[in-house]
Chains A and B, each alone.
Chain A
Amino acid sequence: MARDKLNNEINAGSMADIAFLLLIFFLVTTTIDVDKGVLVKLPPWSEDEPETLTLNKRNVFSVLVNADNALLVRGEPTDVGDLRERAKDFIRNPQNKSDLAERPDKAIISLRNDRGTKYSTYLEVYNELKAAYRELREDESQKKYNKSYEFLPRDRKKEINAIIPLVLSEAEPTNFGEE
């Protein structure tokens, strides 16, 4: 008699509550933050003075950012918004002008800033220069393979990178405007 009355099942109704509690805890603590950033490769450190290379002036695209966050591109004050187009023009040199880069693989970007330059300005400039290269590679890829650079196989990407290599030299900052 007694056994018949016994209910052998455990009440699983509260299981949902427990699970909910845990769920809410994880929901609150979760930060799905995608970690993204501008990838940079630094040159290795060496104690001795770097060799002085004499470069043809036409192949150097100098960008100076001063402590007031103003830009001087090849001796002319420039707006950050125009930097990308100017860099692209310089590297590609479609009209074969004598004061722009001979060939894309000969172009060198030289970036220099003051110690007082704001980091956000620096990153913006760096981003624009990188974007110029990305766009040029994209164009090249479209012309050559009719495909977006992103979807090219690795060896094709290398080939394009060899045609349009990103050469960005960063000089030691000048001591202006340090707080």
Chain B
Amino acid sequence: MSKFQKKRGKSKPAISTASLPDIIFMLLFFFMVVTVMRDSTLKVEVNVPQATELTKLEKKSLVNYLYIGKPTDQYAETYGTSPRLQLGDKISAIGDIPLFLEQHRSGVPEKQRTGISSSLRVDGEVTMGFVSDIKTELRKANQLKINYSAKPRVE
């Protein structure tokens, strides 16, 4: 008996929590680095279709996004219910595309400008007529690298 009592008296049961902040900070930094804050709020409904032949978009800074879909309920009154195009964070006309591309292009170092691609985030329900018009406008603006955004599908 005396043996046990002796041990109990000597041991320190409290675990040091001093390193806990360090661990948490490590996690914190991880999430801070991987976080991409959404830069534009969506005013159109975009539900991209599924596909299998996907390519990953490499450099985020070299990509500009075009959202195409029906305006959300909140904006349906102002913009109607037919598909609209959203550039940046506002709903725009197709004619605004060249300016939008130019604005993005001017923020990219000259050497990397050939690598700029456009990501088209198009809702699956949109008809091709509208998408074709946008494609024509992109071709006129000499933005030929495009990417039809899609969700991966498991076969």
The interface residues of chain A lying within 8 Å CB-to-CB of B14 are none
A37 is contacted by which of B55, B82, B139, B142 (Cβ under 8 Å)? B55
Say whether A165 faces chain B, with CB atoms less than 8 Å apart. no
| CA A34 to CA B34, docked complex, whole Å | 11
Given contacts A16-B17, A115-B129, contact A131 B52 (CB under 8 A): yes
Say whether B108 faces chain A, with CB atoms less than 8 Å apart. no
| CA A175 to CA B122, docked complex, whole Å | 20
Listed by A's residue number, 20 A-B pairs whose Cβ atoms lie within 8 Å are A12-B18, A16-B24, A23-B28, A23-B31, A34-B56, A35-B57, A35-B149, A36-B56, A38-B54, A42-B145, A42-B146, A44-B139, A45-B136, A119-B122, A119-B124, A119-B128, A120-B124, A123-B124, A124-B51, A173-B132
When the two chains form their complex, are residues A37 and B122 in contact, meaning their CB atoms are under 8 A apart? Answer: no
CB distance from B50 to the nearest CB of A (A): 8
CB distance from B139 to the nearest CB of A (A): 4
The interface residues of chain B lying within 8 Å CB-to-CB of A172 are 132
When the two chains form their complex, are residues A123 and B127 in contact, meaning their CB atoms are under 8 A apart? Answer: no
Binding site for B on A (CB under 8 A): 12-13, 15-16, 19-20, 22-23, 26-27, 29-45, 113-120, 122-124, 126-127, 130-131, 134, 172-173, 175, 177-179
In the complex, what residue of chain B is closest to A113 when comparing beta carbons?
B128
When the two chains form their complex, are residues B25 and A19 in contact, meaning their CB atoms are under 8 A apart? Answer: yes
The prevalent SS among residues of B at the interface is: mixed
Say whether B89 faces chain A, with CB atoms less than 8 Å apart. no
When the two chains form their complex, are residues B127 and A179 in contact, meaning their CB atoms are under 8 A apart? Answer: yes
Q: Per-residue 0/1 for B11-42: is the Cβ within 8 Å of any A Cβ (1 yes, 0 no)?
A: 00000011011001101100110111110000
Tell me which of B32, B49, B57, B122 has the highest count of chain A C-beta atoms within 10 A of its own C-beta.
Answer: B49
When the two chains form their complex, are residues B127 and A118 in contact, meaning their CB atoms are under 8 A apart? Answer: yes
Say whether B135 faces chain A, with CB atoms less than 8 Å apart. yes
A31 is contacted by which of B38, B49, B149, B152 (Cβ under 8 Å)? B38
